[in-house]
Amino acid sequence: MPAHRTIELRFIRRSATGQLQHDASLDDLLKITKLGENSVRAIYTERSVDGATIDVQTLTYQQCLLYVYRIFNLLTLDEDPFESVQLFLPAYPTVMLKVETLRAHIPQLMEALASTCTQWPAIGRTTTT
């Protein structure tokens, strides 16, 4: 089976002063890796100054999509939200959204995630220019 790039969602925190958190080592991170047909591993890393907590799940595509959908919805309800969410999807440009605008874009984000799951591109040749 060919290798596949991971889906990555980076949750960017505000600093204590309310400004964008510039320390990427404190961002929460969700990595989704294709294991096989209709199977992924989701690794959520919650980071803080005290260290990291890592949760690992093996999910079907449908379970994974529901999991991400719930994360997006919970982010829109949070009273002390992350500043932004950055999405790295294989074969798509990187996208960053402010959490305050996330709700309006959930359908488009879920469609792009579903498309990636059903037609996950294999890693192609890399070049330097």
* Cβ-contact 59, 40 below 8 angstroms: yes
- What is the DSSP secondary-structure string of 28-45? EEEEEEEEETTEEEEEEE
pLDDT tens-digit series, residues 70-97: 999 999 999 887 899 999 999 999 999 9
Return the ∠ at Cα 20 (arms to 15 and 22), rounded to 5°.
80
Residues 6+ apart with CB under 8 A from 96: 12, 84, 85, 86, 87
- Residue 69 pLDDT exceeds 60: yes
pTM: 0.88
Residues 6+ apart with CB under 8 A from 103: 76
Judged by average pLDDT, the poorest of 24-28, 65-69, 99-103, 107-111 is 24-28
